[in-house]
Amino acid sequence: MIPWFYHLLSPDAESMPVIFRAAMAALFAFVLVLAFGARIIRWLITRKLGDNPEFHNQTLNELTKQKTNTPTMGGIALIGAILVSTLIMADVVGNFYVRMALFCLVYLAILGGVDDWLKLTQARRNPGSRDGLYAYEKLLFQVGLGVLLALFIYYHPAKSGSAEGFFTAQKLNWPFLRDLALPAWVFAILTVVVITGSSNAVNLTDGMDGLAAGCMTIVCVSFMLLSYVTGDTRWSVQLELHHVTQVGELAVVCGAMAGACLGFLWFNCNPALVFMGDTGSLSLGGVIGYVAIVIRQEHMLFLVGGIFVLEAVSVLMQVSYFRFTGGKRIFLCTPIHHHFHMKGWTETQTVVRFWLICALCSMIALATIRIM
């Protein structure tokens, strides 16, 4: 049994194809979250880490009052399952991109965990308030991570001796701009914008039971496929994509993320027993942004993650319009899922309809991959 089990879990692509290991990572992560989710929820309850969502809108506060004291920081279960599944199923030792993905995951999980902890245990600004990290503090750490990852991604292929990979890392893979080479500083800015933007966009989406977890499941499955075809020479040539060496292993990371999010939905569906908090949302969004950068499919993130873009843009529009007009609003409340909730949609209707839109965005993106 032991030799057979070792062979089964071998990261050698010849004995176990990448796409199969990605599916196994998804299944394993799903089972891990299911197995340990209830215990983590009980631990969060004993630590009195319950959320008390409060908005600057009395109507919304009435609609969400039943969520009071629901435990948060459930992202711990997500991060743990993703880490364990990836360590078992992916070539962590031999693949630089997988190690960087795990670094990004843990870094942002710690950042989000600190933010959650401060929100739940300390008054930062005013007595009785629990606002967590300041916005500029989170942004500073996210930008620092983006710059660090950009430099490693940009220069790593040169050190590995892969000329093809080196030039690919410098080129865009966007429509009409497939051969535009980027200097290091432009690549760093692009990486910071994508990773920071996706991290915060998922964080904004995490405002209803099952919304962020369900959308992330769909997005992760899409990027699992994109990572696989980008890292496979035959598929990348057929689909006219830039082939990036070694990125196929990121399909395993995406698979683990999809499985963990699916398992988390077991506890996070309406009515939610636990929230993922910034611990989960910041890290999930950041890693999917990192994957998009590495496989040179940043524009696909804009399409596949259309719901996250919609949520983030709605907040930017609301804040800008409010300041420009001296107090007027475009939406009843943002992020935009709250607007539809206040317009009369039930929470379940809002979440499921946003899932459907996310699935549609993913199908459109994958259907147009050759022309995009």
**The length of the chain, given as a count of residues:** 372
Residue 2 has a pLDDT of 33
Confidence of residue 57 (pLDDT cuts 50, 70, 90): low
Give the pLDDT confidence score for residue 69 in this predicted structure. Answer: 75
Lowest mean pLDDT among 28-42, 157-171, 321-335: 157-171
What pLDDT shows up at residue 28? 96
Structural element, H or E, at residue 51: strand 50-51
Residue 134 placed within a domain:
yes
The mean-pLDDT minimum among 47-51, 75-79, 285-289, 323-327 falls in 47-51
Classify residue 335: in a domain, yes or no. Answer: no
Question: Residue 252: pLDDT band by 50, 70, 90 thresholds?
Answer: very high
138-171 CB burial, b ≥16 within 10 A, e <16: beebbeebbbbbbebbbebbeeeebeebbebbbb
pLDDT at 167: 43
> What would the two tokens of residue 22 be?
């990605």
CA separation for the pair 307, 50 (Å, rounded): 27
- % of the chain with per-residue pLDDT over 90: 53
pLDDT of residue 3: 34
Using DSSP's 3-state secondary structure scheme, residue 171 falls into strand
Mean of per-residue pLDDT scores for the chain? 85
Q: What's the confidence (pLDDT) of residue 236? A: 81
SS3 of residue 71 by DSSP: strand
| Phi/psi at 129 (5° precision) | -90, 155
Provide the residue range defining the domain that includes 221. Answer: 21-297
Asked whether residue 159 carries a pLDDT value surpassing 70, the answer given is no
Alpha helices in the chain (DSSP H): 2-8, 18-46, 58-63, 75-89, 96-121, 135-160, 163-170, 184-205, 211-231, 233-238, 250-268, 277-294, 298-304, 306-325, 336-342, 347-367
- The alpha carbon of residue 311 and the mean position of all alpha carbons in its chain are separated, in whole angstroms, by 14
pLDDT of residue 338: 85
Decide if 371 is inside a domain.
Answer: no
Distance between CA atoms of 11 and 1, rounded to whole angstroms?
Answer: 18
- Please report whether residue 109 resides in a domain: yes
Mean pLDDT over 37-60 rounds to 74
Q: What is the mean pLDDT of residues 48-65?
A: 62
Does any domain span residue 334? no
More confidently predicted of 336 and 166:
336
Is 297 exposed, middle or buried, given 0-12, 13-18 or 19+ CB atoms closer than 10 A?
A: buried
63 — pLDDT class (breaks 50, 70, 90):
low
Q: Which helix (H) or strand (E) holds 70?
A: strand 70-71
141 in any annotated domain = yes
**Residue 181, strand partner residues:** 171
**pTM for the complete prediction?**
0.90
pLDDT surpasses 50 at 1: no
Tell me, yes or no, whether 220 lies in a domain. yes
| 125, pLDDT greater than 60 | no
Asked if residue 10 belongs to a domain, the reply is: no
Total structural domains within the chain: 1
pLDDT at 170 over 90: no
Q: Quickly state the pLDDT bin for 233 (edges 50, 70, 90).
A: confident
C-alpha to C-alpha distance for 1 and 18, rounded to whole angstroms = 23
Q: What is the pLDDT of residue 5?
A: 42
Q: Is 366 exposed, middle or buried (0-12, 13-18, 19+ CB in 10 A)?
A: middle
pLDDT of the residue at 110: 96
C-alpha 44/C-alpha 335 separation (Å) is 27
**Residue 280 and residue 352 in contact, taking contact as beta carbons nearer than 8 Å:** no
